[in-house]
Structure 1
Amino acid sequence: MDWDDLRLFLAVARAESLSGAGKALKLDPATLGRRIARLEQGLAARLFVKSPQGYALTEAGQRLLVHAERAEAAMAGAAEELRGVPGSLTGQIRIGAPDGCANYLLPQVLAAICDGNPGLEVQIVALPRVFNLSKREADLAIAVSRPEAGRLTVQKLTDYHLHLAASRGYLEAHGAIDSPADLRGRRMIGYIPDMIFDKELDYLAEIGVAHVPLASNSVSVQLNWLRHGAGVGVVHDFALPAAPELVRLIPDQISLTRAFWLIRHADDGRVERLNRFADLLAQGLRREVVRLEALA
């Protein structure tokens, strides 16, 4: 077995199909299928079971996956050692994050990291869901709750705060909000209830709001509704400097605290490049949350 065999195996395991893996590898699916069959024959073990849903790992495939991912991390680490200027980060890194963090924190934090490391390329995947690092949807992910399963390393990045907010125009048109009782009858803005992918995002339920007439799975859409005077909603304090039309409401009575967590595949701890990037990201994100919340 050589690294190229493991590389093809990993692609099929992550894509769960020959066509998806072939597209990622720029390899004909039929050729890929023959390579996988030859690998199975060489190992005298069946690695995949084909079903209408695609290619699923067998027990033997699951065992091989652990070793293949370790080999991948070792190859990445070796390549990094031989590439670029010593001490400088190079190559491509993809980070997945919820869209509030991706829109209002990561752009400036990552721009600063790239300024100090000109050979670095960074991709932000902003999606309202949990990322699958085993399938290499991203090299690192930021989440709003600590995962309880999987071969992952988890690091707390920072706490952040959220408050109710509305535009000055909305308050002038519909009256001030001086207590939680004043929320009755107000048009609320928040997440689509059945698309809340993490319980930590169910802000309105926590403060006793059951009905959400204006809802989106995007933090940015919610913020823009608020900016245009459409109603009342919960906003990240770090996003408020980007929306000067908004004011916090009853912060001494309703205040929420959440945390960001940095999640990495367990085997990536051997990749020095990702270790250094994770340190810079954590430091930059903490500083930026403190700076922006002070302006809110």
Structure 2
Amino acid sequence: MDWDDMRVFLALARMESLGRAGQQLRLDPATVGRRIARLEEGLGRRLFTRSHQGYALTDEGARLLPHAVAAENTMAAAAQEAGEASTGLSGQIRVGAPDGCANYLLPQVIATICEANPALDVQIIALPRVFNLSRREADMAIGVSAPQTGRLSVQKISDYHLHLAASTDYLSRHPPITQLADLRQHRIIGYIPDMIFDSELDYLSELGLERVALGSNSVAVQFNFIRHGAGLGVVHDFALPSAQGLARILPDQFSLKRSFYLIRHLDDRRVSRLNRFAEILHKAIRKELTALEGQLQ
């Protein structure tokens, strides 16, 4: 089986679109389509089904996927052993993360890593859901809980903290908050209840607050609601230094501690460049978290 055909197969399996796969491969979408058709003809099986949503793997395609990934890892390892890789990290690495981490923590961390590794390209995928590493949606992911199933390796990165917060403008225009019971007199900002994808994100239930007046599945949208004085909500401590005019509320009465985990597919532990990147990323996130939370003390 031709490795170049496997590259095209992997790109379409990950991108689920001829156009996006073509962009990644620097090929015309029509060429991608022809290559997939040739591969399917050679194998005598249908690898993808096409719909308005894009291309999805068939059962046959899903069975081929882990073998294609293993071949990709072998080729990457061989390239390094042959000295084709530079002393620094290079190539493309995709990191999945919940959007709070992706918006307020990863950009400065990744920028520093790429400054030290000019040949490295990093893509941050911010999605309000759990990433499927078996389908290669990302090379590695940061999660707020440790998955219990799947062929995954899980490493705790660090704890982080969250508190209630509001803009000083909002607090000046509304009744004072001296105890948690006072929160019921205020407009609450938070997740859309039925779109919370991990129980670790169900912050408001710990306060006994059921009504979310302004909701979003995006932490960034919630943060901007708060920043513009629309109400109050639970905010990551590491996000607070990025906006002026925000104040924590009752920090001595309400505080949450959560954890970030670095999640990888077990097969990728044999790829040295991913191991090196994961080690650097782990240390850099811990360092940045400590620095940002330290500004609030």
User: Under TM normalisation by the shorter chain, which class is it?
Assistant: 0.7 to 0.9
The DSSP-based 3-state class of the residue aligned with 1:184 is helix
Aligned to 1:34: 38
Aligned to 1:294: 294
Aligned to 2:264: 264
CA contact (8 A) 1:167 1:229 kept: yes
Q: TM-score, normalised by structure 1?
A: 0.87
1:1-296 correspondence runs (5 A): 1-11=1-11, 13-14=13-14, 26=27, 27-40=31-44, 46=45, 48=47, 56-58=57-59, 62-81=62-81, 82-86=83-87, 88-296=88-296
CA contact (8 A) 2:94 2:140 kept: yes
Q: CA deviation at 1:6?
A: 3.5
Task: Measure, in 2, the Cα distance between the counterparts of 1:74 and 1:211.
Answer: 52
| Residue identity in the other structure for 1:196 | I
Could you list the runs of 5+ residues in structure 1 that have no partner in the other structure?
Answer: 41-45
The DSSP-based 3-state class of the residue aligned with 2:238 is helix
Q: TM-score, normalised by structure 2?
A: 0.86
Q: CA deviation at 1:78?
A: 2.2
CA contact (8 A) 2:189 2:232 kept: yes
Alpha carbons of 1:33 and 1:279: their partners in 2 closer, same or farther (altered >3 Å)?
Answer: same
CA contact (8 A) 2:104 2:238 kept: yes
The DSSP-based 3-state class of the residue aligned with 2:226 is helix
Alpha carbons of 1:19 and 1:118: their partners in 2 closer, same or farther (altered >3 Å)?
Answer: closer
CA contact (8 A) 2:8 2:35 kept: no
Task: Measure, in 2, the Cα distance between the counterparts of 1:166 and 1:50.
Answer: 48
Q: Could you report, residue by residue, the CA deviation over 1:264-284 in whole angstroms, capped at 9, with x for unpaired residues? A: 222111111111111111001
Task: Measure, in 2, the Cα distance between the counterparts of 1:104 and 1:49.
Answer: 37
Q: CA deviation at 1:231?
A: 1.1
Q: CA deviation at 1:3?
A: 2.3
Task: Measure, in 2, the Cα distance between the counterparts of 1:18 and 1:225.
Answer: 37
Alpha carbons of 1:133 and 1:171: their partners in 2 closer, same or farther (altered >3 Å)?
Answer: same
Task: Measure, in 2, the Cα distance between the counterparts of 1:279 and 1:21.
Answer: 29
| Residue identity in the other structure for 2:213 | P
Task: Measure, in 2, the Cα distance between the counterparts of 1:134 and 1:255.
Answer: 35
Alpha carbons of 1:83 and 1:286: their partners in 2 closer, same or farther (altered >3 Å)?
Answer: same
Alpha carbons of 1:183 and 1:153: their partners in 2 closer, same or farther (altered >3 Å)?
Answer: same
The DSSP-based 3-state class of the residue aligned with 2:135 is coil
Determine what percentage of the aligned residue pairs are the same residue. 60
The DSSP-based 3-state class of the residue aligned with 2:177 is coil
Q: 181-190 or 123-132, which moves further after superposition?
A: 123-132
